[in-house]
């Protein structure tokens, strides 16, 4: 029998707990239009940079030499646009609450490793009424490097006192799946942001799901026990 206390589930937030990445994309596009980047579309943002921290998104699309101060200012403005536009649209991914409660009942540790800022994490968890279920929350301010580097997920594992090989990451974005791969963590991919075929190049994927309605913690851990990572 598997010892549930040796395992942890680490969730990216945006695009996993809630299907909200399009709202982030729209807010970034509004910001970039002010800088003359009218040709950029939401799909490119979602595929290439979804899950990255704001500074890295700005360096990627706007200015490789942007300063920390300017990046922080623009990211906060973008996040304000996002919160204002999405406040009445944030809903839980189907099945996520039932999945989280089932994991908790099985003594599985739960963490969040998100590219979102602490204010956005608090905002979403409050709207979803999930503020008390997670054992650890990590945002980019707590680590040196954001996704696709593994720092965020490794920090969550450290806080939960679970080895990386015993952590399963839940991700919708390619930089996040890559971060899990670099952390030597198996990953469940959610198709809210990318289609299933997009994840085919990663060898740490244990399942690809559209939502959580057909997934159970027991079945997931059984899959993990049959694989070597």
**Distance (Å) of CA 168 to CA 130, 189, 197:** 19, 10, 20
Q: Which residue has the higher pLDDT, 224 or 7?
A: 7
The residue to which tokens 């469940």 are assigned: 188
pLDDT at 152 over 50: yes
179: Cβ–Cβ under 8 A, 6 or more apart, which residues? 51, 147, 148, 149, 150, 151, 152, 153, 169, 171
Q: Check residue 90 and give its pLDDT.
A: 96
User: Can you tell me the distance from the alpha carbon of 40 to that of 38, in angstroms, rounded to the nearest whole number?
Assistant: 6
Residue 228 binned pLDDT confidence (cut-offs 50, 70, 90): low
pLDDT at 153: 98
User: Which residue's entry shows tokens 């942007």?
Assistant: 66
**Per-residue tokens: 222:** 């059984």
Closest CA to 25 of 55, 50, 59, 60: 50
Q: Which residues contact 211 (CB under 8 A, 6 or more apart)?
A: 93, 94, 95, 96, 190
The pLDDT score that the predictor gives to residue 23 is 92
Question: pLDDT tens digit string along 67-97?
Answer: 999 999 999 999 999 999 999 999 999 999 9
Tokens of 97: 């609450």
Q: Work out whether the CA dihedral 146, 150, 151, 156 comes out positive or negative.
A: positive
State whether the Cα torsion 9-10-16-18 is positive or negative: positive
Task: Work out the average pLDDT over 111-121.
Answer: 94
2 pLDDT band, cuts 50/70/90, is very low
Q: How far apart are the C-alpha atoms of 95 and 58, rounded to whole Å?
A: 34
- Where residue 189 falls among pLDDT bands split at 50, 70, 90? very high
Q: Which domains does the chain have, with CATH numbers?
A: 4-20+91-225 (3.40.50.1000), 21-86 (1.10.150)
């Amino acid at each position: 029998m598997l010892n549930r206390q040796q395992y942890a589930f680490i969730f990216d937030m945006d695009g996993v707990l809630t299907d909200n990445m399009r709202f982030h994309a729209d807010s970034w596009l509004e910001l970039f239009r002010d800088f003359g980047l009218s040709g950029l579309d939401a799909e490119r943002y979602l595929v290439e940079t979804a899950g990255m921290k704001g500074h890295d998104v700005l360096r990627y699309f706007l200015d490789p030499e942007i300063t920390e101060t300017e990046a922080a200012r623009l990211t906060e403005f973008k996040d304000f646009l996002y919160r204002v536009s999405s406040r009445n649209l944030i809903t839980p991914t189907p099945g996520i609450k039932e999945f989280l409660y089932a994991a908790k009942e099985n003594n599985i540790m739960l963490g969040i490793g998100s590219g979102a800022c602490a204010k956005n994490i608090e905002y979403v968890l409050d709207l979803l009424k999930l503020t008390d279920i997670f054992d650890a929350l990590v945002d980019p301010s707590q680590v040196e490097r954001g996704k696709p580097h593994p720092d965020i997920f490794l920090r969550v594992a450290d806080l939960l006192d679970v080895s990386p090989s015993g952590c399963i990451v839940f991700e919708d974005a390619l930089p996040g799946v890559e971060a899990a791969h670099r952390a030597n963590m198996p990953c469940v991919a959610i198709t809210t942001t990318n289609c299933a075929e997009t994840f085919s190049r990663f060898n740490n994927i244990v399942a690809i799901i559209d939502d959580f309605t057909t997934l159970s913690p027991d079945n997931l851990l059984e899959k993990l026990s049959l694989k070597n990572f």
